[in-house]
Structure formats: C-alpha cells, structure tokens
Amino acid sequence: MPSFRAPRGTRDLLPAERPAWERLAAIASDLARRYGYASIETPIFEQTAVFERGVGEATDIVEKELFRIQPRSEEAESWALRPEGTAGIVRAYVQHGLHTLPQPVRVQYLGPMFRYDRPQAGRYRQFWQWDVEAIGDPGPAIDAEIVELGHRFYVEAGLPNVKVLLNSIGDGACRPAYVTELTAYFASHRERLPELERSRLATNPLRLLDSKDPEMAALIAAAPRIVDRLCDACRTHFDAVRAHLDALGVPVRLEPSLVRGLDYYTRTAFEFYREGAEGQQQALGGGGRYDGLVQLLGGKPTPGIGFALGLDRVVLALAEERIAAPAPAHPAVFVTGADPADTVSRLRFATDLRHGGICARADLGQRRLSRQLEQAAREGAHFAVILGDELREGLVQLRDLRAASQHPVPLADLAREIERGEQSHRHG
C-alpha cells in the first residue's frame, strides 16, 4: 500500500483521463471566442470577506464549506480558497475599474474551485468550473444570451437531453414581502421542518426552497411562489427573457422553487439539468442575475449575470451516456535506430521532426532495434523511422506500423510522406 494518497475528496487526473477534460476546455474556449467573452484569471484564494459579503454569510458555502487559509501571524487579512468564481471576478471588476470599458464586460474563466463538502459521485472538494460573466447590462436579452451559451456548451459536448430550469426570484422591490410571506408559511409548519431547515428559517428562508431533504418536498410544492408575486418591472423582465429564449429555441421548463444557493442572485435564476437523470447529479450547472453584487463589493450599482458549469459532472454524465472519451494522443513518429548506443542521433532526429511540427518520440534506451520497434507499437505510433547505414546517403527507412509496410524515404521527402500517411489514416 502506498504511504501517501491524494487528500479525501480530491483525485489525480491521470494521462488517460485528461483528454476528456481537454476536449471540454477546448469547447469552452472556442465558444467564448465565438460569443465574444474574453479570458480573465483571478487568484485561487481571496480575502474571506469577498465570499462572506458576496456569496452570503448564511449560505452553506460560507458557513460550512469554505477552505480557510491560516495566514502567518504578520498577515492581518483572512483568506479562503475560492468556492466559486463570480465573487472574485466581480472583485476584479471593481478593483481595476472595468466599469470604464464598453459595457457589458464579457469575461470567462475555467479553473479549479474548492469546497469542504462531503465527497460523493460528481462532487469533490477540488472541482473544475467554466465560469462566464457579463457585467454591465440590465436587459433581458443578455440573460437569454448567457443561458443559450451555457446550453450550447452541452450540445457541443455531445450530452443529450439537457434542459433549462428557469425562474425569477425578484429584486429589492418585491422580494422582501415575499420572504416575509414565505417565512410565515414555513413557520406555521415548523414542527414538520428537519433540524437543518429550522436553522435556515431564521437565517435564510429562501434556502428552504432549495432543500434536497425528501421530507421537504410536499411543503415546498405547496409554498407561496415568488413568480406569482413579482413586481411589474421584474415581471416584464422575466417575460422578455422567456420570449428571447423561445426565439432562440432553448428548451426551458419553468421551476417556481428554483432559487439557487447564493445570496447575490436577483431576478433571473436558471439551472441546466439532465432529463431523466436521478438524484443530485441531475444538475450540471447554473447561474443567474446578480444586480447588487458589484455594489456589495465596493463598486457603483451595476447589473450582472453569469453561470458556472461543473466539468466534473459533465465528464461523469458523458461516461454514463456511454459517449466515448478521446484517447490520449499518440506520437505520429517513433524514431529508432540500428545502433542501440547511438541515442544522440535518435534524439537529434526526433528534435528536428518536432521543430517541423511533427509529433515525435525517440527511443532513448540502449536496446536492440526489435525492442525499439516493439516499444513504438506499444506507444501507438503510426510510423517508425529507422536510422541505419543508409543515413549517409540521405535515406531512412519509414515503417508504417499500422499497414505493416516499410520503404526507404529521402530525408527531404520524409515530413511530406509522414503527413500524407497521417491524412490518409484520418480519412480512412
């Protein structure tokens, strides 16, 4: 048994697993380019107050799940690893005066987040999210763009039957009265509330609608619905969001109990889910509008909307749907040689091929040619270049390991011959 292991709730992504993640990252990057969302990078840890103020002190994330960092004694600040990306991006927006840029500022980020949560399938203490934000536009059209972009990611990833849950949770004009009504409703059923939900009733009543406790299902179904109590401005905004999504053909289901888990959301809230999937792994990601967050973090009142999509759950969902993951990349060429000791020539030759844009590896062990060719086959190379006496005449032997053929090739023609062979293989 090994003495050391990855910490509980984390895992190593081994070379055979990485191509699936790299494919999703490439899809996200390409979509961001096509939709006009520039990349941003923020630290993986922030002042704890960024999350306490932005995410909300009465949320599970801040109360139970923050990875807090113990600074050295001379540091006065308290830090925490980021549990989500939006608060840090908004902090950067305020700190660097991005309000002076043309609005909205469209940014995206893909990277690890951290929550001290109970590990389970699809839920880790270090996990990866694609985070997309549009800051500075209050209109419903940007809401629809953001929702459609998230849904497009799942389409291009090849994940079938992904739908959108949609709700409006109002704003400062209509939500306080609703929260009062909701609090009174759940208080009248206090004896039926599980212990955790009783504590939430006192600190964050909206979170009761987000409860996953089966005992809460009937109470939630009968609870007052905020979508029926929106003010005129929120109602008009929500109707316009739905009209835009209808025009884009995005599959939407209205979900009156959807509130999302973070305090900064206002108006539009949405989640992406797998139709027919069971349990908590049904939700793949989500987001919403956060028109008060910039001001909470020290800026002027500025609207914003965004989403975070969990890549861990997408990879798991693709595997459950039996959608094949990309195979690890194999070298196009494996450089071998008749002289086992001449590793210098093999390394130099492979380096020249790489400089020419060809994926190449060299056998750097001192073993006979037959063993080198066996290694080339094990590594999945398409071709083996064999360096021998004919190198003095400007020739090498090119062995096609897949076609089991071999012929001499002039050095001047080698790259072209390899590329032609690769294209012929790709096109079948």
Judge contact between 94 and 299, C-beta under 8 A: yes
Q: Which ranges in the chain are annotated with CATH 3.30.930.10?
A: 18-174+230-320
pLDDT at site 55: 74
pLDDT at site 184: 93
Burial class (CB in 10 A: 0-12, 13-18, 19+), 215: exposed
**Close Cβ partners of 109 (under 8 Å, ≥ 6 residues apart):** 39, 40, 41, 42, 85, 89, 130, 131
pLDDT at site 197: 86
Cα separation, 90 vs 105, in Å, equals 11
Burial class (CB in 10 A: 0-12, 13-18, 19+), 57: middle
**Other CB atoms closer than 10 Å to residue 130's CB: what's the count?**
25
pLDDT at site 36: 97
pLDDT score of 63 more than 70? no
Q: Which ranges in the chain are annotated with CATH 3.40.50.800?
A: 333-426
Backbone angles phi, psi at 234, to 5 degrees: -70, -40
Rounded to whole angstroms, what are the CA distances from 263 to 63, 181, 203, 251?
13, 18, 11, 26
pLDDT at site 2: 80
Which of helix, strand or coil describes residue 349? helix
Q: What percent of the chain has pLDDT over 90?
A: 62
Q: Is the dihedral of CA 211, 215, 216, 221 positive or negative?
A: positive
Report residue 324's pLDDT band, with 50, 70 and 90 as the boundaries: confident
Mean pLDDT along residues 328-347: 92
Average pLDDT of every residue of the chain: 89
Which of helix, strand or coil describes residue 304? strand
pLDDT at site 329: 81
Q: What is the pLDDT of residues 250-299, one digit of tens each?
A: 999 999 888 876 667 899 999 999 887 645 456 899 999 999 899 999 99
CA-based nearest residue to 254, from 226, 232, 219? 226
Listed range (4-13, 330-339, 413-422) with the worst mean pLDDT: 413-422
| Domain 333-426 -> CATH class | alpha beta
| Length of the chain in terms of residues written | 428
Rounded to whole angstroms, what are the CA distances from 158 to 153, 180, 279, 319?
9, 43, 21, 11
Report residue 166's pLDDT band, with 50, 70 and 90 as the boundaries: very high
CATH number of this structure's domain 18-174+230-320, picked from the four choices 3.40.640.10, 3.40.50.300, 3.30.930.10, 1.10.357.10: 3.30.930.10
Report residue 200's pLDDT band, with 50, 70 and 90 as the boundaries: confident
pLDDT at site 42: 97
Cα separation, 333 vs 349, in Å, equals 11
**Other CB atoms closer than 10 Å to residue 322's CB: what's the count?**
6
Degrees, nearest 5: CA angle 4-8-13:
75
Cα separation, 393 vs 400, in Å, equals 21
Report residue 59's pLDDT band, with 50, 70 and 90 as the boundaries: low
Query: Is the pTM here over 0.75, yes or no?
Result: yes
Rounded to whole angstroms, what are the CA distances from 234 to 288, 293, 318, 356?
14, 18, 37, 59
pLDDT at site 265: 82
pLDDT at site 304: 97
Mean pLDDT along residues 204-215: 83
Mean pLDDT along residues 312-326: 89
Cα separation, 376 vs 346, in Å, equals 13
pLDDT at site 3: 86
Mean pLDDT along residues 151-168: 94
Looking at per-residue pLDDT, the higher value among 308 and 73 belongs to 308
Mean pLDDT along residues 65-69: 87
Burial class (CB in 10 A: 0-12, 13-18, 19+), 251: exposed
pLDDT score of 427 more than 60? no
Report residue 161's pLDDT band, with 50, 70 and 90 as the boundaries: confident
Burial class (CB in 10 A: 0-12, 13-18, 19+), 5: exposed
pLDDT at site 418: 87
Q: Half-sphere exposure (CA, 13 Å, Cβ side) for 21?
A: 18
Q: What is the pLDDT of residues 341-376, one digit of tens each?
A: 999 999 999 999 999 889 999 999 999 999 999 999
pLDDT score of 78 more than 60? yes
Report residue 190's pLDDT band, with 50, 70 and 90 as the boundaries: confident
Mean pLDDT along residues 71-80: 78
